[in-house]
Structure 1
């Protein structure tokens, strides 16, 4: 493929994740499971990815590249854009500073490629927060790294599976802090991003349900006034902007109603309120989409799974679902 032809259809970039977790394995497994889809690259450490790939398919080949245009999209060839070079792979299943640095380098390299227009979007394999901290990188997760590196604008997490889509008002913080942070600007940001994110997925007029913070939506002020003081006014403002938002809906029933088809997206107030309903239905098809970035980013809805890393049993289904969502969001056909 010439460079001219290459740039007609940019590849997706898949980051390897924490080298001690299941990330490299599920990336390699997805590569092997999808021989008809080769137009993507891995961003990561060649030694780590070689170990993961050859453990599953000894005859597969790894092609080191320094930029996406050097990729060879051939059967049996995994293109790895070098973001770090370990002298030896970090110990499988163990938190390490080296692993944290390598995982972070892959993410940041992919972000720079996306901002430069060299790739069509990013799919990230899981990283470990404690490994980042061991490396002196104090980020709660991918979302915060992405937001900072992309320019610090408003971002939100959308969790999606075959049944429901959820956008979070607050993300990685304590419940006490979440209550303080869920102010009117945060509500508006989440509602607007839920609307634009759903439209990017092809929903022409998304129906946005906003979950309450307190039990029974505050029960008329008996259990708190955030619904009338903060959430309700934000919904009213969103409707003035032409967004089909409604609520606040009681958190114990709104996800059921969304699953039954009444709503297209639920805006949840805090991390566990939104993620428990999604993850309860299974991790295999769960996808995390970062809204508000100047490029597409998706990821599987699970962690590094250190307990099963290196055993050859990790399931790549959620990563593959994230890959498919990234294609959908970038208006891509199968590649």
Structure 2
């Protein structure tokens, strides 16, 4: 078998994760390109197969070496951590939050041990995590802690456009305060190293402007003058392939046209709006700066539609496809 093995934790059992996993496994892109090991609960996946009507047979395995990667086989590491007498689909539940964490934990263990080439994650619920006594706000923080990576990088990829984020889940006021010369320099260096790990070595990274028209030389906002431009100039002097600032109203379009190999978005929504407006379902998150590869859907648990067989698996398929694309760079 020459297909890379991708670990897929099923996410919050009460959400759409199990359904989109079942649907993705019977998609031709996944069937032909990946050997998937699902980490979850057998009872939940049996229910997901029933809901979706996916033509799958569950094979319980203890490790990836035991897998049968032929079409129609769902290779499952069963953690057996859901009490179906208490389980309610579509409900936020601490039991499900704790279970979701355990699926992720097992997936990371497999990746750390080189038993799988990558992890492609499904949605989890922050409230359920908290209710389950899990003191992490989300996937990125969990992966950072369990791979000993102090500050993992978030990169979105959609249609070959790659976007990194200088800050994530902070207020807009805090995000503006985090636009400093030193932080930009540190992030650019680490982002370029992460790109190299993915096999992307050609082209320049562009820094998006923070203010309209990058502040027009300080006419409305001086962050570019005080921080962004000095950071770019110093990075260029050190030999790093970076340009900017380039107005956020055009930089993403230019990246999509191939002018840049990536963009550093200076705050969360700046890059999220650009990528998700382009193609919401195919915007995939890649966590960089870690010793292992993790890709992820970039949508939530959608509790309101869980169990109704209307959730799209496009993002799950794309997350697995991207894991397969970059996996060879992490398999040595």
CA contact (8 A) 2:203 2:241 kept: yes
Long gaps (5+) in structure 1: 1-5
1:29 Cα deviation after fit: 0.4
Determine if contact 2:153/2:164 at 8 Å carries over to the other structure: yes
Q: Tell me what 1:232 maps to.
A: 229
Give ranges in structure 2 of 5+ residues lacking alignment: none
Question: Equivalent residue for 2:275?
Answer: 278
1:26 matched to which residue of 2? 20
Farther-moved stretch of structure 1 (263-272 vs 179-188): 179-188
Q: Could you tell me how far apart the structure 2 residues matched to 1:90 and 1:37 are?
A: 34
Moved more, 71-80 or 8-17: 8-17
Task: Please say if 1:65 is aligned against 2:65.
Answer: no
Which of the numbers 227, 241, 244 marks the counterpart of 1:244?
241
CA contact (8 A) 1:199 1:205 kept: no
Q: Is the 8 A contact 1:140 1:172 kept in 2?
A: no
Instruction: Say whether the 8 Å CA contact 1:54–1:60 is kept in structure 2.
Output: no
For 2:289 and 2:297, the matched residues in 1 are separated by 18
Where relative contact order (Cα < 8 A, 6+ residues apart) is larger, the structure is 2
In structure 1, which of residues 125, 139, 142 is the aligned counterpart of residue 139 of structure 2?
A: 142
Task: Say whether 1:14 aligns with 2:11.
Answer: no
Query: What is the CA RMSD across the aligned residues, in angstroms?
Result: 2.2
Residue 78 (structure 1) aligns with: 74
**Deviation, structure 1 residue 236:** 2.3
Q: Name the CA distance, whole Å, in 1 between partners of 2:307 and 2:292.
A: 32
- 2: distance between equivalents of 1:11 and 1:261? 31
1:42 is aligned to: 38
Measured in 2, the distance between the counterparts of 1:108 and 1:185 equals 33
Question: In the alignment, is residue 312 of structure 1 matched against residue 309 of structure 2?
Answer: yes
Residues 168 and 270, structure 1, Cα contact 8 Å, conserved in 2: yes
Number of equivalent positions = 326
Partner of 1:3: none
Q: Distance in 2 between matches of 1:176 and 1:83?
A: 42
Deviation at 1:323, TM superposition (A): 0.9
How far the C-alpha of 1:38 sits from its partner, in A, is 5.7
User: What is the alpha-carbon distance in structure 2 between the residues aligned to residue 168 and residue 327 of structure 1?
Assistant: 23
Which TM-score applies when normalising by structure 2?
0.90
Q: In 2, Cα distance between the equivalents of 1:245 and 1:58?
A: 46
Q: 1:37 to 1:54 in 2, by over 3 A?
A: farther
Quote how far apart the aligned CAs of 1:10 are. 5.5
TM-score norm. by structure 1 comes to 0.90
> Contact conserved, 2:4 with 2:324, CA < 8 A, in 1?
no
Q: CA deviation at 1:41?
A: 0.4
Q: 18-27 or 192-201: which moved more?
A: 192-201
Question: Could you tell me whether the CA contact under 8 Å between 1:16 and 1:106 is conserved in 2?
Answer: yes
